[in-house]
Amino acid sequence: MLSYRHGYHAGNYADVLKHAVLLQALTLLQKKDKGLVYIDTHAGAGGYSLNDEFAEKTGEYRDGVARLWAQNSLPDSLQQYLDNIRHFNENNQALGFYPGSPALVDMNLRPQDRMLLHELHPSDQQLLSEYFGQDSQVKIVEGDGLKGLIAALPPKERRGLVLIDPSYEIKTDYELVAETLIKAYRKFATGVYLLWYPVVQRQQTEAMLSRLKDSGIRRQLRIEQSIRPDNNEFGMTAAGLWVINPPWQLDEIAKEMLATLQPILQQPGGSYRVEWEVGE
């Protein structure tokens, strides 16, 4: 049985970057009226209390979203992210709830859009189902999100945003994720794919990213934040999003975001990069 629970990590620095970029990708895609499907392969519980035993045990959100909470001079993209977080906390002066990717996207879903959420862990599946109830725009699939992604492509809308956000608990996850993403692209080459990745052992992460880079797929963008210099012994030192088919201007928006986030979130020796790894 898998032991990862996102409640321990909700709102940490990696979530801030992941969700701020996700929101921008969605906003850019929604500039066109035509409906789209949002596919979350690893949805988690939907949203998270920051006052429960999980969040309190690690306190990771304190070095993430809590550092942004009081900021009042942010670029539009980060302001939009923070306004969304505030929306979920509107009855409180204090930050007490953190929306996960399904809740954030749901808040921005238009009537012509829909969501397909996958979750494997029974407890998180149940929380996700309770969160969404009978919402007709949302379908929850209880099972493996990588298999579910392949089964869902190509979507009938022919417009889609896919978030692949695994917990990387099993070593082979890295290989499987790259393989699945390449397969998914072959079935739906115009989709926008956001792959979240951690850097715990730099070589392991780069092996996965190199597979994607060498796959022949065009338009691959790296958006990465290193909170401190790489060190194979001290847990996650960086996290990023590997984006296939980023919507126009996402690269420039991400640069502005990271330039702002750097002094707020980073520790000594940290850095960031936004680089086209494969061009047009």
- Binding site residues for S-adenosyl-L-methionine, as ranges? 19, 42, 101, 119, 144-145, 165
Q: How far is the CB of 44 from ligand SAM (least distance, A)?
A: 3
The three-class DSSP label of residue 7 is: helix
- Interaction between residue 6 and ligand SAM (CB under 6 A): yes
* Chain-centroid distance, C-alpha 54: 20
From candidates 114, 118, 159, 222, binder to ligand SAM by CB under 6 A: 118
Quote the tokens at residue 103: 């809740």
Q: How far apart are CA 223 and CA 40, in angstroms?
A: 19
DSSP track, 132-148:
HTT-TTEEEEES-HHHH
Return the biggest CA–CA distance within the chain: 49
Judged by beta carbon, residue 102 or residue 246, the one nearer ligand SAM is: 102
Note if 124 is an active site residue: no
- Interaction between residue 124 and ligand SAM (CB under 6 A): yes
Angstrom CA distances, 120 to 20, 38, 72, 123, 148, stand at 25, 18, 38, 9, 11
- Interaction between residue 7 and ligand SAM (CB under 6 A): no
Return the number of other C-beta atoms located less than 10 Å from residue 140's C-beta. Answer: 19
- Interaction between residue 224 and ligand SAM (CB under 6 A): no
Among positions 37-56, residues that touch ligand SAM (CB under 6 A) are 40, 42-44
- Among residues 15, 135, 165, 173, the one annotated as catalytic is 165
- Interaction between residue 119 and ligand SAM (CB under 6 A): yes
Q: Residues in the site for ligand SAM, rule: CB under 6 A?
A: 2, 4, 6, 18, 40, 42-44, 100-101, 118-121, 124, 144-146, 165-167
